[in-house]
Structure 1
Amino acid sequence: MRLDPAALQRPVPPGAPEPLAEPDRDALRLEVVMGALSDPLRMRIVRTLLLESEAFDHTCGWFGLDRPKSSLTHHFRALREAGLIRQRQYGLERRSHVRVADLEARFPGLLGLVADWQE
């Protein structure tokens, strides 16, 4: 599937908090990104954000994953630290979205492969 990064980008809402710490675009490393995607749950999270996003960003609860909160925290942190998602802290909750423009610039076609992935 060929993804249109511009169509997947959502504008940052006014007053959105700054993103949590993440690697810069130029610091994204393919082996780290692929390592994060090697877990099927993390691949599913990224794919869901790519294909089913309804808003700028989403809470962990939006995914409907039947996992302990500590497990989800670990998976979302791994995705953020690898540079796949951007997270912002809204009070007690973190909301996430895929870093489409950064990933397409560094690894063209990678997100299309993720979108085509089947469990």
Structure 2
Amino acid sequence: MNESTAPNTGDHLKESGSHLKESKAHAVQAAEELRAAASEKAQQLKSAATSKADHLRESASSTGNRLRTAAVDRKDRISHLTEEKIAVTKERAKQYHETGEQYVRDNPTKAICTALGVGFVVGLLFRR
């Protein structure tokens, strides 16, 4: 029996060694496939992130340009309105000045007495 089992044991060892080599080869191949799949997925993620970053950059640039244009338009409108208000105010001041001069020409005594009275009251207020 020993002699008949000895060759079988050697065959089993060879078979086990062969299975072990095949398993190792499969494990190496699976590891390489997994590494390749992981590398491909990383490349896809990198590409998607780059694409998204480019899209966000373009969107931010577009929004910045729209805001800049709106700000310039608003500034121009405010500047125009301010110029109009200044012109109207100057015209009114000129009219009041002319009206005042005409009043003083028409009523010189009354104007002088009014000016003296106002001056006296203001002088009293500043003394205190």
More helix by share: 2
TM-score, normalised with respect to structure 2: 0.19
Larger radius of gyration: 2
TM-score, normalised with respect to structure 1: 0.20
Larger RCO (CA under 8 A, 6+ residues apart) = 1
More strand by share: 1
